[in-house]
């Protein structure tokens, strides 16, 4: 079986208008073949549950760069297989069951406050912004920006200081058990986790008792690199400026000729056309 893990902004969603219409043929092909589509993103659960609904997708999601894995309640029941202990450590958040791989958002913000007080680092996180500010920096609507601010366990931020001081901030984060990654627009501060680790966690749950699936990962940013490199099939999606990640998947690597959802569509259709289940 295939499992598709996909980044959103600049990958499945257009960099400028966040639309996914060019990817509709491949999305429908995944549904017909019952291939799980796992949105794997820096976005929040509040944002992604609406995107999943727009895509008519009922699969689990990986949010905040692997900081949390969220299962729709019905899917959580199926994966648990009638054994509640399987979901030990999950918490109920709206209509999802959520496993955090990162400290709570309040702890992330407390670290930033302590570093500012001690060292005077100049950065602006979502927690410092109004919804209008977030909308300005992201291109989201104000309503969408409100959802982007509903964070569980990570903080996007803009760095206004020197590169040398950024490295010291990164080292202090590591000493505190935190990690940093670079997305398309922002740095992200979170626990010591990643999209790649969450991808492996979720694949193991989905595969339980069925044999190992083939993982497909699609992305365009540095925070997708590890996920692509650890996937069986990696798709490096061309960015809106024509540049592209330089990395390789475990078994196969595709590089799209077109950016965003147009390139995403072509790559997924090619993978589905060529895929043959491995011999068991």
Q: What is the CATH number of the domain that holds 133?
A: 3.30.980.20
* pLDDT of amino acid 75: 78
* pLDDT of amino acid 272: 97
Q: Identify whether residues 77 and 49 lie together within a single domain.
A: yes
List residues with catalytic annotation: 7
Alpha-helical runs (H) found in the chain: 24-32, 45-54, 73-80, 105-119, 131-138, 142-148, 163-175, 195-207, 225-230, 260-274
CA 20/CA 224 separation, integer angstroms: 19
* pLDDT of amino acid 81: 56
Spans of the chain, pLDDT less than 50: 82-84, 280
* pLDDT of amino acid 133: 97
The angle, 0 to 180 degrees and rounded to 10, between the axes of the packed helices 260-274 and 24-32 is: 30
Q: Identify whether residues 127 and 259 lie together within a single domain.
A: no
Residue 22 has what DSSP assignment?
G
CA 247/CA 228 separation, integer angstroms: 7
Q: Identify whether residues 76 and 148 lie together within a single domain.
A: no
* pLDDT of amino acid 276: 83
Q: Which range of residues forms the domain containing residue 16?
A: 2-101+194-274
CB 228, CB 245: distance < 8 Å: yes
* pLDDT of amino acid 153: 95
Which tokens belong to 183?
């997305």
Distance of CA 121 to the CA centre of its chain: 27
Question: What is the number of structural domains in the chain?
Answer: 2
Q: Identify whether residues 202 and 76 lie together within a single domain.
A: yes
């Amino acid at each position: 079986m295939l499992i598709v893990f996909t980044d959103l902004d600049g990958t499945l969603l257009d960099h400028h208008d966040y639309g996914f219409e060019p990817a509709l043929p491949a999305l429908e092909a995944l549904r017909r073949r019952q291939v799980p589509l796992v949105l794997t993103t820096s976005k929040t659960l509040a944002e992604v549950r609406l995107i999943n609904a727009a895509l008519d997708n009922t699969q689990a999601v990986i949010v905040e760069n692997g900081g949390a894995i969220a299962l729709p309640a019905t899917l959580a029941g199926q994966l648990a297989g009638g054994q509640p202990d399987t979901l030990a450590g999950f918490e109920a958040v709206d209509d999802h069951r959520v496993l955090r791989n990162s400290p709570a958002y309040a702890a992330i913000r407390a670290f930033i406050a302590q570093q500012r007080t001690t060292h005077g680092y100049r950065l602006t996180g979502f927690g410092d912004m109004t919804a209008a500010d977030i909308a300005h920096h992201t291109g989201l609507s104000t309503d969408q920006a409100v959802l982007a601010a509903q964070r569980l366990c990570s903080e996007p931020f803009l760095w206004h200081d020197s590169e040398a001081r950024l490295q010291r901030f990164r080292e202090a984060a590591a000493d505190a058990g935190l990690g940093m990654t670079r997305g398309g627009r922002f740095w992200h501060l979170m626990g010591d986790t990643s999209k790649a680790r969450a991808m492996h966690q979720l694949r193991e749950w989905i595969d339980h008792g069925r044999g190992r699936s083939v993982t497909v990962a699609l992305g365009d940013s540095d925070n997708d690199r590890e996920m692509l490199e650890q996937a069986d099939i990696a798709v490096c999606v061309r960015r809106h400026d024509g540049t592209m990640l330089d990395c390789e998947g475990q078994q196969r690597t595709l590089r799209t000729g077109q950016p965003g959802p147009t390139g995403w569509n072509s790559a997924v259709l090619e993978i589905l056309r060529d895929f043959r289940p491995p011999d068991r």
